[in-house]
Amino acid sequence: MDRQIVYPAQVPLDSDLLNAQRNAHVGLGQLAGMAYGADTVAAGGFACTPGGGMAVSIAPGSLLAAGVVDVSAYGTLAASASPLVRQYASRDPVTLDVPGAGAGYVVYVTPATVDAGDTVLPFYNAADPSVTYAGAGNGGQAAPTVRRDVAQPGIGTGVPAGAYALWSVNVPAGATAITADMIARAPGAPFYDTIPQLQAAKQDALGFTPTQQGGGVDQVAGKVFLGRDTTYPGLRYSYVNGSGDTITGGYLLSTYGTELNAAYGQLGDLSQDSGDRLVYQSYAMNGNYYTAALLSDITAEAAARAAADASLMAGFAGGLSANNDRRLYGGHLNGATGRVAISWDGGEADMAFATDVTNEATTRAAADAQLVNGVLAMGATDYQCLGIHFDGVGRMMGVYDNGAGGVYPTIALYTDVTNEAAARAAADANLMAGFVGGISASGDRRLYGGHLDGGSGRVAMSWDGGQADLAFASDVTGEAASRAAADAQLVSGTYGMGPGDAQILGIHTDNQGYVHVWDSTGDKGMLEWHSSSDPSLKANMTPVMPDVLGDLDKIRMYSFDWKDGYVRKGHVPVGFSSKNLLDVWPDTVRTSEKNPDSIDLLNLIARQMAAIRQLKDIVAELRSDVAALKAGAAARS
């Protein structure tokens, strides 16, 4: 691991500080690589718990992943592509909203390196060390102050490129809150045990000391013997599992049964009963004894089975087990119904005699003979007509059964149709207008009638869904006259207006005498105006000479560009700032609550003229002094 060397009175360099931090960064990365491997991704922390409602809370954690020292320049140090295990951290708990119910989601973490903490830093000013620069070159630019390796938790239906899955969240349909049983570690999640967890799990490999386990003969200190179990006969063993728990094992017989195959059981005592059958004890079945069958037991059962099969009524030829077909076991005469009954595993049913079928056919034929018509061309939703008759008012009525009961619709007579046609024609004759030129696709509607509205005194037209009054010609001409009168009050017309322009609607002066312009969007601000210099318009004129020369060096001049949206546009090479003039000569700036500050150019020019006059007097005095000095020098020579 590299370390920087510095000396007393040495001029400190920025690279000294950066290299010291890079060296520590590299040292920690190499140590992580030794512990976990150069290409291993490892996560610690990031516990996932319900966060209230449809959200989960992710605890702080860190992630190790392979990378390089610095992908980009680190301050003034060049980028370094040397391989290095990087540590990415999430310092604070993070709450993630689960997108919805009825789906599975993955909580993942994405490693990222970001430069943050942008700050305008003070820099050394060689021209004036007492005044620092604001940013490099006094440009006022902010610069990042820290390089962070961050682990950013997220949630989605999949894992983005470069991210690592940590947790699976399976949300049932209809769920309104996340519960702990919905959260599980994601397959392949890069979690590793901590050192304390490894110590507990690997206690035997880290110096486990054997202790006395059994109570058998010849057992001495320092040795482990198997002893006879006091609960069940037979020898048993004990061991420590991967979690550090002491587990009582099985009997010596079939000792490794469950380790070779989880379906195998462990056996205890083996003995023989009076019938020469094997009797064994099962550890898995709470130590109960079980008797094993002899070969003769099996052959006797096979013979009995064959005899029983011979008594069955039928075989199973043609039966399909996949279709849930079942074997028939027997038939008998049902005393209650008088019919032959057939039995099978799970049920019984009576069989019909041939006379039952012929009687049903005769009954069906008699019923069909009563039907009005057949079923030719009937559709899936049609019903067969069961009868037609005249009702009490002289109309035919049909009868059919819709499955819920009898339905009796009345059939219209020919005269009903002709009468309706005549009534329709009479109604159409009363309509005010047809629908010629109407376009239904455009939402056009037929006018149904017109009347004089007693409330408004105007003609009202009605249609399906509404009614509206029509304007008289006098209404239109009256509005035109009002419009003309309103236009006459406008300050200007709209001649020459382009896109984005607005018509001027008014000009007025405020209580301070400043002129304001209004358009359709509101007050546009004060107009610049010039004070008249005509003496006939002024009173109490007294010559003054203000002392302004001392303030002249406080006035600053600037070059600037007008912002978009202001009435003025473009670049100004030399100009003033109203804020600067307010600090020096406040009466040269006009202020308003609604408008930007504006400079009173006449007042400013007057002060500049006063400064010029003062400079002129100083120059004249200097010239007089120079002439006197020249005269004295000439006299001395």
Tens-digit pLDDT profile for residues 417-467: 899 888 888 877 766 656 777 788 887 888 877 888 888 888 888 887 788
Find the range with the poorest average confidence among 369-373, 406-410, 418-422.
Answer: 369-373
pLDDT band at residue 107 under the 50/70/90 scheme? very high
More confident residue, 431 or 30: 30
pLDDT band at residue 137 under the 50/70/90 scheme? confident
Least Cα distance to 189 among 323, 315, 63 occurs for: 63
Pairwise CA distance, residues 594 & 42, whole Å: 62
Q: What is the mean pLDDT of the chain?
A: 80
Least Cα distance to 409 among 422, 391, 421, 426 occurs for: 391
User: Which DSSP symbol is given to 606?
Assistant: H
Q: Where are the domains of the chain?
A: 14-192, 208-311, 544-623
Pairwise CA distance, residues 303 & 117, whole Å: 90
State both tokens at 503.
């018509």
Pairwise CA distance, residues 150 & 114, whole Å: 8
Which pLDDT belongs to residue 215? 44
As beta bridge partners, residue 460 has 451, 469
**441 and 452 in contact (C-beta within 8 Å)?**
no
pLDDT band at residue 233 under the 50/70/90 scheme? very low
Half-sphere exposure of 472 (CA within 13 A, CB side): 9
For residues 405-437, one letter each, b for 16 or more C-beta atoms within 10 angstroms of the residue's C-beta and e for the rest, the string is eeeeeeeeeeeeeeeeeeeeeeeeeeeeeeeee
How many DSSP H helices and E strands does the chain contain? 10, 33
Pairwise CA distance, residues 191 & 196, whole Å: 15
Task: Check whether 232 has a pLDDT greater than 50.
Answer: no
Tokens 């587990």, residue? Answer: 247
Which pLDDT belongs to residue 354? 87
Find the range with the poorest average confidence among 51-60, 81-90, 330-339, 490-499.
Answer: 490-499
Q: Name the most confidently modeled range: 232-236, 443-447, 517-521, 630-634.
A: 630-634
Task: Give one word for 465, left, alpha or beta, with left for phi > 0 and alpha for psi -120 to 50.
Answer: left
Task: Check whether 529 has a pLDDT greater than 60.
Answer: no
**579 and 589 in contact (C-beta within 8 Å)?**
no
Which pLDDT belongs to residue 445? 81
Starting at the earlier edge strand, list the strands of the sheet with 278-282.
267-272, 278-282, 289-291
Which pLDDT belongs to residue 478? 83
Q: What is the mean pLDDT of residues 587-595?
A: 72
Least Cα distance to 93 among 151, 168, 170 occurs for: 151
As beta bridge partners, residue 291 has 279
Q: φ and ψ at 97, to 5 degrees? A: -80, 125
Query: CA 402: distance to chain centroid?
Result: 51
* Amino acid (one-letter) located at 43: A
For the chain, what percent of residues have pLDDT higher than 70? 78
Q: What is the mean pLDDT of residues 479-505?
A: 74
Q: What is the mean pLDDT of residues 387-398?
A: 81
Which pLDDT belongs to residue 479? 86
pLDDT band at residue 113 under the 50/70/90 scheme? very high
More confident residue, 613 or 431: 613
As beta bridge partners, residue 94 has 58
Pairwise CA distance, residues 496 & 504, whole Å: 13
Pairwise CA distance, residues 422 & 418, whole Å: 6
For the chain, what percent of residues have pLDDT higher than 90? 24
Which pLDDT belongs to residue 594? 59
pLDDT band at residue 122 under the 50/70/90 scheme? very high
Task: From residue 504, give the alpha-carbon distance in Å to each of 441, 492, 518, 521, 627.
Answer: 42, 6, 6, 10, 63
pLDDT band at residue 231 under the 50/70/90 scheme? very low
Starting at the earlier edge strand, list the strands of the sheet with 48-50.
48-50, 55-58, 94-97
